[in-house]
Amino acid sequence: MGANLGLAGRTVLITGGASGIGRECALALAREGAAVAIADANEQGATETVCEIAALGARAVVASFDVRSPTATETAIEAIERDLGLLDGLITAAGISRPAPATELAAESWEAVIGVNLSGTFYSCQAAGRRMVARGRGAIVTIGSVSSLGGQSGRAHYCASKAGVVGLTRDLAVEWGSHGVRVNCIGPSATDTPMIRRGIPESFVSGVMEDRTPLGRLAQPSEVASVCLFLLSDLASYVNGALIMADGGVSAGFFTRGHGRDFSSKALLAQGIYSE
Ligand SMILES: NC(=O)c1ccc[n+]([C@@H]2O[C@H](COP(=O)([O-])OP(=O)(O)OC[C@H]3O[C@@H](n4cnc5c(N)ncnc54)[C@H](O)[C@@H]3O)[C@@H](O)[C@H]2O)c1
């Protein structure tokens, strides 16, 4: 990243570290000299991330568990602290999307998305946070979304879970701040990860998502990871309970098309669509 974040020697757990944003956070932390635990339901992907990190000369372990289980989470964190060191940081990047219209959304999908994105985030924060609170230090970064702020068709469960993550983050920041534990949330918009490429047609990505983004492109996972690392670091020592959007300006406006150039377009003025 270039800046000295002071993360060398810290121990950080990343849920969802086998893929996408979580994986990028893990690699970026390893490059900073942190020891990382990769927690993911996808054991093979987690092992691949750990091998990449080992090749960088950093310490890493795989913790394969389902974040929906508080018992499995507790057991895994106990083992991580024994094998890698006491946790200084946590990033909760495990998440799923499963789009479906609200009228047809199966209860199983609702439970799964709320279970992973919201309950899973809480269980990870609780198991790591109770240790951090007892020691009087730690930093946690949760992953929200632009869907924390607004709706999107076919995402009733996802939007509810991501709004919930912001509420959870604010609560934990208030409960744990006086114990030296900071809790913040980052809100990415569309980020070029397997989650996006798997579930969304290319025509929607370029025709709608990129078009509605003032910066005119998807985020790279490394651009989300760099904000996560900042929030974990002592550079953010007075940032607590914040929702920091890494969304290319998506949530800065409404009715935005053409990367935000629609209203200022002389062509639109010439067509009489807007008057000066
Ligand atoms: N990609 C985007 O556009 C985008 C935008 C905003 C927010 N987000 C959020 O960022 C986070 C990471 O998303 P991503 O795009 O990197 O997705 P991804 O699919 O690339 O990675 C998610 C990881 O979570 C793991 N996971 C899923 N369910 C799990 C469970 N029950 N237990 C443990 N691990 C589990 C998966 O195996 C996967 O490795 C998610 O919370 C997502 O909602 C993503």
pLDDT digits (tens, 9 = 90+) for 217-234: 999 999 999 999 999 999
Most ligand 1 atoms within 8 A of CB, residue of 96, 159, 189, 204 to mutate? 96
Parts of the chain with a pLDDT under 70: 1-2, 261-269, 271-276
Give the contacts of 97 (CB within 8 A, at least 6 positions apart).
113, 155, 158, 195, 199
Query: Is 274 in the active site?
Result: no
Give the contacts of 136 (CB within 8 A, at least 6 positions apart).
179, 180, 181
20 Cβ inside 6 Å of ligand 1: yes
Residue nearest to atom 8 of ligand 1 (CA): 145
Residue nearest to atom 23 of ligand 1 (CA): 16
248 Cβ inside 6 Å of ligand 1: no
Q: How far apart are CA 54 and CA 77, in angstroms?
A: 20
Given this model, what pLDDT does residue 265 score?
Answer: 61
Report the chain's mean pLDDT, rounded to a whole number: 94
Place of tokens 């670091």: 233
Nearest ligand 1 atom to the CA of 17 is: 39
136 Cβ inside 6 Å of ligand 1: no
Cα of 104 from ligand 1 centre, angstroms? 23
Q: How far apart are CA 241 and CA 238, in angstroms?
A: 10
Q: How far apart are CA 270 and CA 276, in angstroms?
A: 10
The helix (run of H) or strand (run of E) holding residue 160 is: helix 156-176
Most ligand 1 atoms within 8 A of CB, residue of 40, 158, 192 to mutate? 40
26 Cβ inside 6 Å of ligand 1: no
Nearest ligand 1 atom to the CA of 21 is: 16
Cα of 93 from ligand 1 centre, angstroms? 6
pTM: 0.95
Cα of 238 from ligand 1 centre, angstroms? 28
- What 3 state SS string does the chain have? CCCCCCCCCCEEEEECCCCHHHHHHHHHHHHCCCEEEEECCCHHHHHHHHHHHHHCCCCEEEECCCCCCHHHHHHHHHHHHHHCCCCCEEEECCCCCCCCCHHHCCHHHHHHHHHHHHHHHHHHHHHHHHHHHHHCCEEEEEECCHHHCCCCCCCHHHHHHHHHHHHHHHHHHHHHHHHCEEEEEEEECCECCHHHHHHCCHHHHHHHHHCCCCCCCCECHHHHHHHHHHHHCHHHCCCCCCEEEECCCHHHCCCCCHHHCCCCCHHHHHCCCCCC
Token duo for residue 144: 């929200």
Which amino acid, one-letter code, is at 10?
R
Given this model, what pLDDT does residue 200 score?
Answer: 86
Place of tokens 């607004």: 150
Nearest ligand 1 atom to the CA of 221 is: 16
